Structure 1
Amino acid sequence: MKITAQVEYGLRIMVRITRCKDEKGLSIRQLSEAEGLSANYVAKLTRVLRIKGLINSTRGHMGGYVLSKPAADITINHTLKALGGSFFDKKFCESHSGILALCTNSVDCSIRSLWSVMQITLDKLLDEVTMADMVKNEKEVSSVLQNIIDGNATGVLN
């Protein structure tokens, strides 16, 4: 599995916006400088995030980007799917049939089962993690994730 640059940088921008306490949000220039990305690339990512309903833009020359709803209501799963789609969906098999119209394994495919279970597992984990969790420090986020994996209180540190 490969995490694309768009997914990585888009998630980093979401974390920056989540951490911002200014009601006007962060501008493209501020996000660009903070993340070491070109302004054009930040503009592309913020456009995707805005179209997907994750952030809103504030108007004016001093405007910027803010979350569209509370951080605790934005799941990482929704964010990652907005930036790059699912790890696996059923259309995958249609586009990987080789030179044939249908995959030679379309009737009985053990690999499809593996990808499907991986997607279900990822969805379960990522649906429990929110942007509010992601603004914590690395140790705390690791603890949140471990609690979810262990089946303890969802997203809450003990």
Structure 2
Amino acid sequence: MKISTKGRYGLTIMMELASNYGEGPISLKSIAEKHRLSEHYLEQLVAPLRNSGLVKSIRGAYGGYQCSKPPEEITAGDVIRVLEGPISPVDFTEEDDPAKRDLWINIRDSIAKVLDSTTLANLIHYQDQGDEHESNMFYI
């Protein structure tokens, strides 16, 4: 399974909203400018996030978007499933071999476990600690 730009940029939107949770709405324009992304594309991504209840829109001159729940309550899995659909490396109905089917199920479950145990708060923390993690990176 490859996560497309929909999933990656969707996580970017959600991390920005989560970083400002409780401080009021954020415009997609500011997110687009900060990350050098297309505002139009972000508008297309925020609609399903809003429809799923992960994001609230606020109208008006100082409007924008905000997370509908605290960052600790929204997982990467929530966001990816909304934007990418079910997490599955292959279509299980096409797999006849039980050994391979078990492999694909284990891969799917492992991916889901990581996504579902990683909250937006975790991602923000990892992002804030980025420089510290890079100091421990070894290159070969």
Instruction: Give 1:87 deviation, angstroms.
Output: 2.8
RMSD over aligned CA atoms reads 2.2
Bigger relative contact order, structure 1 or 2, given CA contacts below 8 A and separation 6+?
Answer: 2
TM-score normalised by length of structure 2:
0.81
Decide whether the 8 Å contact of 2:71 with 2:119 is kept in 1: yes
Larger Rg: 1
Instruction: Give 1:50 deviation, angstroms.
Output: 0.7
Instruction: Give 1:21 deviation, angstroms.
Output: 5.2
2:64 corresponds to: 64
Q: How many residues in Structure 1 have an aligned counterpart in Structure 2?
A: 130
Equivalent residue letter for 1:14: M
Identity across aligned pairs (percent)? 32
- 2:131 equivalent to 1:135: no
Query: Counterparts of 1:71 and 1:21 in 2: how far apart (Å)?
Result: 7
Query: Counterparts of 1:34 and 1:139 in 2: how far apart (Å)?
Result: 16
Decide whether the 8 Å contact of 1:6 with 1:83 is kept in 2: yes
- 2:88 equivalent to 1:122: no
Gaps of 5+ in 2: 131-140
2:78 corresponds to: 78
User: Which stretches of structure 1, 4 residues or more, deviate above 4 A after TM superposition?
Assistant: 138-141
The 1:63–1:138 alpha-carbon spacing in structure 2 relative to 1, beyond 3 Å, is closer
Q: Choose the corresponding residue for 2:99, options 110, 114, 118.
A: 110
